[in-house]
């Protein structure tokens, strides 16, 4: 495995190629850089998989059937030009730069951990930050072929992520009837008023006891201030820790009824990502802890988080999954994004040891 200086040089190359998810050309340039860096480490060029104009990379290492899937993404949330104001920097044990924590350091760790191994698939996607619309089927296909999926998303205070809530997204549309707000409002069916009823009804679907959150977000209604609104819409973000809870909320969302019988309601959307439940990660986490103790490495804690990742997809198809194996630091999607340099080498060594163990035990 390369020393820290080599890993920092590789990280710099990736970070200094900006890759906002919404810019297909930028994602393509980033894929070129990841491919070049990866080929230098792994001794092989990746397969380029372009779906809907977006570039994903896949390495299948060795001659054996794939048994371990390493999963990451090279797109970021940062627009072109961010690097000029927040350049790559290493100072006082901290590395900075857009996308360093989420998740270009994780990619460097994956590449170095996989070098020279047989039976590993490394998949690097280019659309995770926008929900993986073009890569989901590819991720699920690779996960089904593997005995374990290890996701290089950043950690939480050094903890690996053993649980992630599932995500469901909805848009609720209310249809009413327009009328002049001053002359004859009684002839209208006020979509804004009905929307208010529905927002309250949807909010009540949350269940604090199970950690299920149901959050109305963006709302739009009406066209002019002197017209009874004929149409309104609002978006809903649902996070649930179990499939059972996702299904309960989904049934309720599709069973909404109007308070004003003259109004009509339509619900679009549904489950976006299944949850990564503890049962999918328990075995891998226990193995990771045993390896850490045996090798004298720090034993990482475990975390449950509300945010989703591509690990939700791998767990959703039944593949044992452990997430948050990447960088230690903080500030994901924020101006203070950073990585603790001293954690990069030991975390990579632990990842390598876990992969080696899985390759001989599967």
**Catalytically active residues, by annotation:** 75, 128
Whether omega before 258 lies within 30 degrees of 0, making that bond cis, reads no
Contact 121, 61 (CB under 8 A): yes
State the Cα torsion 34-40-44-45 to the nearest 10°.
30
329 forms bridges with which residues in the sheet? 339
Contact 56, 138 (CB under 8 A): yes
> CA nearest 313: which of 55, 139, 170, 72?
139
> CA nearest 348: which of 325, 329, 322?
325
Tokens for 264, please give them. Answer: 């009509």
Exposure of 195 by Cβ count < 10 A (0-12 exposed, 13-18 middle, 19+ buried)? buried
* Residue 286 CB neighbours (<10 A): 10
Would you call 303 helix, strand, or coil by DSSP?
strand
What SS3 string covers 149-201?
EEECCCCECCEEEEEECEEEEEEEEEECECEECCCCHHHCECHHHHHHHHHHH
What SS3 string covers 12-69?
HHHHCCCCECCCHHHHHHHHHHHHHHHHHHHCCCCEEEEECCEEEEEEEECCCCCCEE
């Amino acid at each position: 495995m390369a020393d820290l200086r080599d890993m920092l040089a590789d990280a710099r190359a990736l970070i200094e190629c900006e890759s906002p998810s919404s810019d297909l050309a930028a994602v393509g340039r980033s894929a070129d850089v990841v491919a070049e860096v990866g080929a230098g480490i792994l001794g092989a060029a990746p397969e380029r998989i372009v779906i809907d104009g977006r570039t994903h990379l896949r390495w299948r290492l060795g001659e054996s059937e794939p048994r371990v899937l390493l999963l990451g993404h090279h797109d970021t949330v940062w627009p072109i030009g961010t690097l000029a104001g927040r350049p790559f920097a290493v100072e006082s044990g901290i590395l900075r730069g857009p996308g360093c924590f989420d998740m270009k350091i994780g990619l460097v760790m994956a590449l170095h951990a996989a070098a020279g191994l047989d039976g590993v698939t490394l998949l690097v996607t280019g659309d995770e930050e926008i929900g993986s619309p073009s890569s989901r089927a590819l991720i699920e296909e690779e996960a089904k072929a593997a005995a374990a999926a290890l996701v290089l998303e950043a950690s939480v205070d050094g903890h690996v992520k053993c649980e992630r809530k599932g995500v469901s997204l909805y848009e609720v549309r209310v249809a009413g009837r327009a009328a002049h707000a001053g002359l004859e409002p009684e002839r209208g069916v006020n979509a804004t008023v009905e929307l208010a009823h529905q927002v309250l009804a949807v909010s009540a679907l949350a269940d604090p006891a199970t950690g299920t959150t149901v959050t109305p977000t963006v709302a739009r209604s009406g066209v002019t201030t002197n017209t009874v609104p004929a149409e309104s819409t609002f978006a809903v973000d649902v996070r649930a820790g179990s499939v059972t809870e996702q299904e309960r909320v989904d049934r309720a969302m599709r069973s909404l009824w109007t308070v004003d019988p003259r109004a009509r309601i339509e619900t679009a959307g549904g489950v976006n990502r299944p949850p990564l439940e503890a049962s999918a990660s328990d075995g891998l986490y226990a193995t990771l802890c045993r390896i850490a103790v045996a090798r004298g490495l720090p034993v990482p804690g475990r975390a449950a988080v509300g945010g989703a990742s591509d690990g939700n997809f791998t767990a959703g198809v039944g593949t044992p999954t452990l997430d948050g194996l990447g960088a230690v630091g903080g500030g994901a999607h924020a101006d203070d994004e950073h990585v603790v340099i001293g954690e990069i080498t030991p975390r990579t060594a632990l990842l390598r040891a876990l992969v080696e163990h899985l390759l001989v035990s599967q």
